[in-house]
Amino acid sequence: MARMKAVDAAVLVLEREGVSLAFGVPGAAINPLYAALRARGSIRHILARHVEGASHMADGYSRAKAGTIGVCIGTSGPAGTDMITGLYAAQADSVPILCITGQAPRAKLYKEDFQAIDIETIARPVTKWAVTVREPALVPMVFQQAFHVMRSGRPGPVLIDLPIDVQLAEIEFDEDTYASLPAYKPQATRKQAEKAIAMLNAAERPLIVAGGGIINADASDLLVAFAELTGVPVIPTLMGWGSIPDDHPLMAGMVGLQTSHRYGNATFLESNFVFGIGNRWANRHTGSVEVYTRGRRFVHVDIEPTQIGRVFGPDFGIVSDAAAALRLFIEVAGELRAEGKLRDRTDWAGACLHRKESMLRRSHFDTVPLKPQRVYEEMNQVFDRDTCYVTTIGLSQIAGAQFLHVYRPRNWINCGQAGPLGWTLPAALGARAADPDRKIVALSGDYDFQFMIEELAVGAQYKLPYLHVVVNNSYLGLIRQAQRGFKMDFEVSLAFDNINAAPDGDAVPGYGVDHVAVAEGLGCKAIRVKSPNEFKSAFAEAERLMVEHQVPVVLEFILERVTNIAMGTEVDSVNEFEEILCLDPSLSIRRSQELGASEKEAKAPAPAPAPAG
């Protein structure tokens, strides 16, 4: 037993729980913890330019590598409130991050002291646990409990708020006897597995819906083994993308209103049984429950009991960690196969594969300005199977999910439910910090990129090289497309004549912000691409710059102002705004009645930029 300051004990616990890196911004109320971090020297620290950025870095760090937990640190008051968006994003997608905030002295709480806010109450709805530690002796045990909570059941974030006098107080702590608390994960029973597999075996046209819980459980290999054993095609959700390789013959495409494949939706509409594992029936995946569930039976497996029946009641629900459940499913299905009782799915799987090979969207366009589809086509050709994509929301993300390919778990790092603009850049830095060897490619529209563009300086300062693809149409593209339903285009244009653009420079007149100049001013490298003829040389140059200078490299593509990306309000009525490829004329193609109008809109001249000044 040793006597030490409470913050010294906190740092010791962080070390024992496997923390080796933290992201944050120091301040007066958290400086005692920073002093302890400096004294120990065991936990590296990356200084963010914005505290929200630190929380997203911790989020990307946790998502990129199995078993890691990102830590973000801030001072009292606005630092904690700035990190609320990061906590919400992590909570919504079942990501464990630890947020540590400083706080005013206990005697000053609830007395309107400078930068004193009840962050515990504010953070409670967006965390698994939020606590202000009011007794110094509790500090090491609160940190121990935090890791137990983050790892148990459905993962999620925790906030620990430390009054400055609690940090500085001396306590007794026995480091030598400290041990992590074992995480709790519910497991399916043999009888549950037998019933679920019997239901699957009886179905005519079954599908497996693979959610993010499979990736959280590191169960992707088990998923593929289960699919191959049963012959049942797999529909990954947006959060489960990569749990089965895109080119696997049983990968049947994604389903949904936006981030979906034509063949995925078509296959789902032909199915009559859905076996959901580790998914949450998110509304961008399902559309209305009535359309999604019509004519189908459902089994739902999830680690969180309150997820079963939250969106709709399945025909059978199992509360279980995805890996534990899949091991049992494989065992039971394997026994049926040995007995010759496992149903042959060759014809059904073949029909699904035929749709996958035939029902495609066109991506090859040679127009100038560029169409976004062509950008993703080129990315597929340039980037290898190990490339990790990081993105949040917008037409850039939606088109990316429709056209890119993902082959491994944790190679699609996407803020799926919260979708805050600005998340992509700091999350990519966090992913790079977690895995120095993997190629990280971030994907943003111009507005997402501008939200937290200052964090590029962090990548330059700490030598965190990655490639940031910015598709620039100088629009809030997704909101503009949504405003079509209101017959307006109101306050969604980012275009203006930039008075600082050099007349003989490379900046595009009327497109507003010069992202290349800003990126270079923040210590990074940047390239602008305007023509399809420049793609291959630009990607090669970006790779060279990234390796040579070890900083983020921005690759900006100048798009046409208006491109409508395929989406709809139901899985059976997605509007295909662009020309559709169909390699098999026998397959029916749904084309919206408004297709003609949207094509005219897409070809219309760009609206004149607002006058400068």
Active site residues: 25, 51, 421, 476, 479
Q: What number of other Cβ atoms are within 10 A of residue 30's Cβ?
A: 24
Q: Which amino acid is at 400?
A: G
Using left for φ > 0, alpha for ψ between -120 and 50, and beta otherwise, residue 394 falls in left
Tokens read off for 60:
């990307």
Distance between CA atoms of residues 455 and 48, nearest Å: 7
**What token pair was written down for 500?**
């600082």
Q: How far apart are CA 149 and CA 434, in angstroms?
A: 22
Give 176-241 as a DSSP string: GG--PPPPP-----HHHHHHHHHHHHH-SSEEEEE-HHHHHTT-HHHHHHHHHHHT--EEE-TTTT
Cα–Cα distance, 264 to 280 (Å, whole number): 18
**Cα separation of 182 and 189, whole Å?**
21
Q: Distance (Å, rounded) from C-alpha 223 to C-alpha 41?
A: 41
Three-class DSSP category at 159: strand
| DSSP label at residue 343 | P
**Structural Rg of the chain based on CA atoms:** 25
Residues in the chain, overall count:
613
